[in-house]
Amino acid sequence: MPSAGALEGEEEAAVLTEEEYGNIDPNFFDEGYSLAASTGFKVWTGSRLLVETLTWPQSNDSERLREIQDRFRNGAKAVELGAGVGVVGTYLAAIGAQVLITDLPTIVENAIDVNLERNKHIEFKYDDDVDVDDNSCNSCPTWLQPHGLNIGRGWADATAVDWVQPLEEQLTEEQSTCLDFIVASDVVFLKEMLSSLFDTVAALFKSSVASSPPFILSFQRRDAKEGEDSKAFTTLDGILQAVQDRGWKLECLAWRHVTVPKETEEGNILMVQSEVFVFEINP
């Protein structure tokens, strides 16, 4: 059996093939990085539903949802938590919002910053049946300076925010006090994430108490059956209980069934039905 950590005698070193090197996560040893953080380089179903819900009005949308959509189109200030590659925040900026997109340093550097640069100065046009005021800002808002970029009709910037670190050490006072919305898409699928996310949201609720920003959260159910405890995944009941424990209020803005691939223990891929929700949470 090969030794662990050091070679002995004539023992040969293990050599990785080029294919095996390609399967290594290049960010694995970065500070603050984890298995959960590695999922930030993918676009999940919850992100797609959140983009659709907040940016493309439908005839059956509630009055409250229409109000939220209108505010994003007309310059609302938002912070996105656990943004991954930044799809949601970038799209919100494109329709007219001002967005600070956040995640761990590695993801900001290797995904969000790159994608913002690719999308700067793009044009965004609504369908003719969407009523939009021309409220685009011609210069970068002060709270996103000096690195904010013009994305479509709005502005966006990126910065690192680690949910287990003090928020006041990561955001400026203006960034944490001027918010109209807090946004996160499908970021609490693992149980270990829920408490730290809600701690960060609680800090933002407190710092932005004057503007009373709601927390808009998308969530895809990954537990087998609701009511049964899952060892790894956050359940819908788990979110509802965590909201209740903090004395917050929750409303469902959107919901739908989606078909997603799921790998069985035997390695087979099955297409199964799952539920995706968009919640509005307020203190």
- For 91-105, how does the pLDDT look when each residue is reduced to its tens digit (9 = 90+)? 999 999 999 999 999
Backbone angles phi, psi at 162, to 5 degrees: -105, 120
Band (138; pLDDT cuts 50, 70, 90): confident
For residue 224, give the DSSP letter: S
pTM of the complete model: 0.81
Lowest mean per-residue pLDDT among 134-138, 219-223, 239-243: 134-138
**The pLDDT of residue 131:** 58
Reply yes or no on whether the pLDDT at 261 is more than 80: no
CATH of segment(s) 18-282: 3.40.50.150
Q: What is the pLDDT of residue 197?
A: 96
Residue 222 has pLDDT above 50, yes or no: yes
Residue at token pair 């078909």: 259
Rounded CA separation 193/103 (Å): 13
Of 60, 90, 277, the closest CA to residue 188 belongs to: 277
Structural domain boundaries in the chain: 18-282
- Amino acid 165: pLDDT: 95
Beta pairing partners, 77: 98
Strand order in the sheet with 181-185: 149-151, 154-160, 98-103, 77-80, 181-185, 215-220, 269-282, 249-263
Question: How sure is the predictor about 132, in pLDDT bands with cuts at 50, 70 and 90?
Answer: low
102: which strand partners? Answer: 159
pLDDT of residue 221: 86
55-82, pLDDT tens digit by residue?
Answer: 999 999 999 999 999 999 999 999 999 9
Report the distance separating Cα 190 and Cα 88, nearest Å. Answer: 20
Strand partners, 183: 80, 216
**Per-chain mean pLDDT for the chain:** 83
